[in-house]
């Protein structure tokens, strides 16, 4: 039934090979971009057909393993090239191929004129292939291949402008910090394989087989250790405390890269991995608590930083870190479906926001170039009044901003409110629930504030750009605007397939289709989910409606504060900064976490490297090598005198040799 799913990752791989091998010879941008976009669109078509087939099946038939061939077989160990097709992988396939296709189309216009155009699209296709391999793999090892693939592609794309030192440094930072997380992933994989094999004789890394034996995992103990290892991997890939600092620096890559990494692919991998392995995490309540705490703390911490950034892309970057925190909060309280739902809605509005910021940067760069101005095209302090110059970009950006702010009726409201309610009402973390909800609610208010601060500074008020540049500001071409329109539409309507139960009942008993669709994936954690549903059901409807109203009010307060500070009284921010300079400086400098990491880790590692280089490599290694060379030179200098070129010297040497030999035999 699902025998053709191998085509989904194959198409982007073909696009990578064509553009990577022949793109430089093809030269024509429309052909190169068309090949890249077409391959992802073909994957989207096959993924859509797969989804429709999945929907038509009854719930108990929605999990299928499609094996292509055996990859590795050694003793009891076997790993196949095989794909797991179930509701969770179908959701991820639609997000990766659907949003990924729109980003590819957008890139055709945005990257026009770039010297490495073919290289960029080759990397994009390879990135898409790697992410598809990650979400489709039916075993941990194949997932890890895709996991490493997106890590490699992030390095290549973040450092795309490799002639810039900042871009090269950002690429290396992302690569190194992800290696820390990947070490945790591998430890978890090895520990799980060893435990199940040595303890129970089940030598497997296949997800469905591991899930079938969920009753064999003890609560706590070794399961806590291995789930913490896996969570370390997730913190690196999905940019959570303490491994989040690479993500804001990833803004050095082209804007379509930011949209692809932050919305559709790489950073959602950690959330997906925990959802895929829910049967393990529910057996480790300590790990679940850690996941929830880290998620809530990251959501709040990153949101505070976003309030003081002036680079339009960095505001969105810290917004991504914060929204990922919400997803981990959901996973930590057992609301797996809600976490995946927010992953999907976030892909819609965050891709729209990043691509919208790219359209603004594209227009700003064009205008500044014509005026020979060296102002920063990404600094919001150089913008203002762009809604009249770029009406479609403004409208789509505004809709996506309303969605991420959690305003009722938009996609972000449905997914974010469900997470906040589950964080408050879940029965698993006791009195910690209120703190988890509080962090999420405050982060929601800060999100509404800094996102509307971005909108007001960019699109409203007087245009602060160099006066010579104003006439050159314009709306982007349709190849850039079209993806924005589609994503803005999804940002509005995308939440209605996962309406919370309380709203569905108010509208005539509409079920939460998204949660029901994902139910087979979480059947092995059914008791855990049921206990949560039972606990939430025992809270009054008044409480649930009240908390929903509070979250909406908090969001509206954030928007109102942004309006007062940046529209009604634009002089107030400067006064606030002057009144609290230390606080503003700390937030603007990201609470000095990068400097702290440099002091604790980066600089000591550099010092150790320099010591090993100068103290060991130069003195010992180079000393031995140079010593051998000098010895050979000394010996050869002495021996070269034997080759004088005079015949009488050679005759004398032969005579002396004969005398020595005769003497040896006479006197021995």
Q: What is the pLDDT of residues 32-80, one digit of tens each?
A: 999 999 999 999 999 999 999 999 998 888 999 999 999 999 888 889 9
Burial of 625 (0-12, 13-18, 19+ CB in 10 A): exposed
264 pLDDT higher than 90: no
pLDDT at 538: 60
Measure the CA–CA gap between 591 and 589, rounded to whole angstroms.
Answer: 6
193 pLDDT higher than 70: yes
Q: What is the pLDDT of residues 581-618, one digit of tens each?
A: 999 999 999 999 999 999 999 889 888 888 877 778 88
Dihedral of CA atoms 219, 220, 223, 229 in degrees, nearest 10, equals 150
Whether residue 567 contacts residue 461, with contact meaning beta carbons closer than 8 Å, is answered with yes
User: How many other β-carbons are positioned within 10 Å of the β-carbon of residue 598?
Assistant: 14
Q: Distance of alpha carbon 417 from its chain centroid, rounded?
A: 23
Measure the CA–CA gap between 222 and 205, rounded to whole angstroms.
Answer: 16
Whether residue 125 contacts residue 42, with contact meaning beta carbons closer than 8 Å, is answered with no
Whether residue 394 contacts residue 386, with contact meaning beta carbons closer than 8 Å, is answered with yes
Q: What is the pLDDT of residues 518-536, one digit of tens each?
A: 988 887 766 666 666 655 6
pTM of structure: 0.91
Lowest-confidence range among 173-177, 271-275, 465-469?
A: 465-469
Measure the CA–CA gap between 179 and 243, rounded to whole angstroms.
Answer: 10
Element (H, E) at 74: strand 64-74
pLDDT at 284: 92
Instruction: Locate 551 and state its tokens.
Output: 């979250």
Helices (H), 307-431: 312-332, 336-370, 391-405, 411-425
Q: What is the pLDDT of residues 401-436, one digit of tens each?
A: 999 999 999 999 999 999 999 999 887 777 899 999
Q: What is the pLDDT of residues 454-486, one digit of tens each?
A: 999 999 988 887 777 777 788 989 999 999 999
Residue 263: pLDDT band with limits 50, 70, 90 = confident
Whether residue 516 contacts residue 529, with contact meaning beta carbons closer than 8 Å, is answered with no
pLDDT average, residue stretch 278-285: 92
pLDDT average, residue stretch 360-365: 90
pLDDT average, residue stretch 389-394: 94
Buried b (16+ CB within 10 A) or exposed e, 25-35: eeeebeebbbb
**Of 384, 385, 244, which is closest to residue 319 (Cα–Cα)?**
244
pLDDT average, residue stretch 100-120: 92
φ/ψ (deg, to 5) at 318: -70, -30
Measure the CA–CA gap between 658 and 638, rounded to whole angstroms.
Answer: 23
Q: What is the pLDDT of residues 634-653, one digit of tens each?
A: 888 777 777 777 777 778 78
Chain position carrying tokens 């030598």: 203
pLDDT at 537: 60
pLDDT at 214: 83
Chain position carrying tokens 């909060």: 329
16 pLDDT higher than 80: yes
pLDDT average, residue stretch 445-456: 96
274 pLDDT higher than 60: yes
pLDDT at 544: 84
DSSP secondary structure string for all residues of 585-601? HHHHTGGGHHHHHIIII
Residues with Cβ within 8 Å of residue 485, at least 6 apart in sequence: 392, 396
Measure the CA–CA gap between 423 and 427, rounded to whole angstroms.
Answer: 9
pLDDT at 617: 80
Whether residue 453 contacts residue 303, with contact meaning beta carbons closer than 8 Å, is answered with no
Measure the CA–CA gap between 586 and 308, rounded to whole angstroms.
Answer: 9
DSSP secondary structure string for all residues of 247-270? HHHGGGS-HHHHHIIIIISGGGHH
Whether residue 85 contacts residue 68, with contact meaning beta carbons closer than 8 Å, is answered with no
SS3 category, 287: helix
Helices (H), 159-283: 165-200, 207-212, 222-237, 246-249, 255-259, 269-276, 278-281
Measure the CA–CA gap between 499 and 511, rounded to whole angstroms.
Answer: 7
Q: Computed from CA positions of residues 176, 177, 178, 181, in that sequence, does the dihedral angle turn out positive or negative? A: positive
User: How far does the chain reach from its first CA to its final CA, in angstroms?
Assistant: 94
Chain position carrying tokens 């509409």: 510
Using alpha carbons, list the distances in angstroms from residue 313 to 162, 172, 245, 248.
19, 19, 15, 8
User: How many other β-carbons are positioned within 10 Å of the β-carbon of residue 440?
Assistant: 27
pLDDT at 500: 84
- Specify the long-range contacts of residues 587-591, CB closer than 8 Å, at least 24 apart: 587/304, 587/305, 587/307, 587/308, 588/308, 588/309, 590/245, 590/248, 590/305, 591/301, 591/304, 591/305
Residue 103: pLDDT band with limits 50, 70, 90 = very high
Element (H, E) at 576: helix 572-579
Chain position carrying tokens 């994957």: 43
pLDDT at 536: 64
Instruction: Locate 82 and state its tokens.
Output: 């095989």
């Amino acid at each position: 039934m699902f025998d053709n799913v191998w085509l989904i990752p194959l198409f982007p791989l073909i696009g990578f090979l064509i553009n990577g091998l022949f793109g430089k010879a093809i030269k024509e941008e429309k052909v190169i971009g068309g090949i890249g976009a077409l391959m992802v669109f073909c994957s989207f078509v096959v993924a859509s057909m797969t989804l429709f087939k999945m929907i038509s099946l009854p719930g108990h038939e929605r999990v299928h393993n499609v094996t292509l061939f055996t990859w590795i077989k050694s003793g009891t160990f076997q790993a196949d090239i095989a794909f797991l097709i179930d509701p969770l992988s179908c959701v991820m396939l639609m997000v990766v191929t659907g949003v990924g296709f729109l980003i590819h189309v957008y890139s055709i216009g945005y990257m026009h004129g770039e010297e490495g155009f073919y290289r960029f699209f080759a990397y994009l296709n390879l990135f898409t292939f790697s992410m598809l391999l990650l979400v489709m793999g039916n075993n941990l090892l194949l997932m890890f291949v895709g996991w490493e693939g997106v890590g490699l592609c992030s390095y290549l794309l973040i450092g795309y402008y490799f002639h810039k030192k900042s871009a090269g440094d950002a690429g290396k930072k992302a690569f190194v910090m992800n290696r820390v997380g990947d070490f945790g992933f591998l430890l978890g994989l090895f520990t799980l394989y060893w435990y199940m094999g040595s303890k129970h004789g089940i030598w497997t890394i296949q997800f469905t087989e591991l899930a079938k034996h969920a009753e064999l995992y003890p609560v706590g103990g070794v399961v806590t250790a291995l789930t913490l290892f896996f969570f370390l991997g997730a913190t690196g890939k999905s940019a959570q405390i303490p491994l989040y600092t690479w993500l804001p620096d990833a803004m050095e890559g082209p804007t379509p890269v930011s949209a692809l990494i932050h919305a559709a692919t790489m950073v959602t991998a950690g959330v997906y991995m925990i959802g895929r392995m829910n049967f393990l995490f529910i057996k480790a309540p300590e790990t679940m608590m850690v996941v929830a705490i880290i998620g809530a703390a990251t959501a709040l911490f990153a949101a505070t930083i976003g309030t003081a950034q002036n680079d339009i892309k960095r505001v969105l970057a810290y917004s991504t870190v914060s929204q990922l925190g919400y997803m981990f909060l959901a996973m930590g309280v057992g609301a797996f479906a809600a976490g995946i739902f927010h992953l999907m809605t976030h892909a819609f509005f965050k891709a729209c926001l990043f691509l919208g910021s790219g359209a603004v940067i594209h227009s700003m760069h064009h205008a500044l170039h014509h005026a020979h101005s060296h102002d920063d095209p990404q600094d919001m302090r150089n913008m203002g009044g762009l809604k009249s110059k770029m009406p479609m970009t403004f409208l789509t950006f505004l809709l996506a901003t309303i969605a991420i702010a959690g305003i009722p009726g938009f996609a972000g409201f449905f997914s974010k409110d469900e997470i906040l309610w589950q964080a408050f009402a879940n029965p698993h973390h006791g009195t910690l629930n209120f703190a988890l909800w509080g962090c999420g609610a405050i982060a929601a208010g800060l999100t509404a504030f800094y996102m509307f601060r971005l909108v007001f500074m960019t699109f409203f008020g007087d245009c602060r750009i160099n006066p010579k540049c104003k006439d050159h500001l314009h709306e982007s071409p349709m190849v850039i605007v079209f993806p924005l329109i589609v994503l803005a539409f999804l940002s509005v309507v995308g939440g209605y397939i996962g309406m919370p139960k309380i709203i569905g009942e108010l509208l005539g008993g509409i079920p939460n289709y998204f949660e029901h669709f994902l139910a087979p994936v979480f059947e092995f954690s059914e008791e855990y989910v049921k206990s949560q549903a039972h606990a939430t059901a025992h809270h009054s409807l008044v409480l649930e409606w009240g908390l929903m109203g509070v979250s909406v009010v908090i969001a509206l307060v954030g928007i109102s504060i942004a309006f007062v500070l940046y529209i009604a009284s634009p002089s107030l921010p400067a006064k606030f900064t002057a009144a609290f300079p230390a606080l503003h400086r700390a937030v603007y400098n990201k609470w000095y976490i990068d400097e702290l990491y440099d002091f604790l880790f980066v600089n000591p590692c550099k010092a150790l490297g320099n010591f090993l280089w100068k103290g060991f490599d130069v003195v010992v290694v180079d000393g031995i090598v140079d010593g051998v060379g000098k010895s050979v030179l000394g010996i050869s200098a002495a021996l070269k005198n034997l080759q004088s070129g005079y015949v009488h010297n050679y005759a004398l040497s032969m005579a002396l040799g004969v005398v020595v030999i005769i003497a040896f035999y006479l006197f021995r």
